[in-house]
Amino acid sequence: MSPVPFGTVVRGARGVWTGRIWVLVGVLCARLDGDPGDPGPRGCAPGKLVSAAYEPDADAWRVIDQDPEPAARGFGPGRTPAFGAAVGVLGADAVFMIDGEYYAFQPDRWDWQWLAPLTRTDTPGCSTGNVLARYHDDRALTLEHGGRVWATSPAPAPAVAVPPIGSVCTHTGLLVYPAGLDAPAIYQPRSRRWEATPRPTFAASGVAPSAAFTGTSVLWRVPPARVVAFDVATRSWRDAAPGLAVAPDSVAWTDGGYGLYVRGRRLQAYNPGA
Beta bridge partners of 178: 164
pLDDT-based confidence at residue 45 (cuts at 50, 70, 90)? low
| Among 21, 168, 13, 15, CA closest to 82 | 13
What is the spatial distance between Cα 43 and Cα 263, in angstroms, rounded to a whole number? 20
What is the spatial distance between Cα 248 and Cα 251, in angstroms, rounded to a whole number? 6
What is the spatial distance between Cα 195 and Cα 175, in angstroms, rounded to a whole number? 9
State the pLDDT at residue 168: 92
Beta bridge partners of 113: 104
Residue 194: phi, psi to the nearest 5? -90, 150
State the pLDDT at residue 188: 93
Tell me the domain boundaries of the chain: 1-115
State the pLDDT at residue 40: 42
Residue 61 confidence (pLDDT) above 90? yes
pLDDT-based confidence at residue 31 (cuts at 50, 70, 90)? low
Three-class SS string for 231-245? ECCCCEEEECCCCCC
State the pLDDT at residue 131: 92
State the pLDDT at residue 214: 92
pLDDT-based confidence at residue 67 (cuts at 50, 70, 90)? low
Each residue's pLDDT tens digit, 184-204: 899 999 999 999 888 887 776
Mean pLDDT of 57-81: 63
Query: Is beta strand 22-33 parallel, antiparallel or unpaired with respect to 10-17?
Result: antiparallel
What is the spatial distance between Cα 167 and Cα 70, in angstroms, rounded to a whole number? 25
Each residue's pLDDT tens digit, 79-97: 444 467 889 999 899 998 8
Residue 169 confidence (pLDDT) above 90? yes
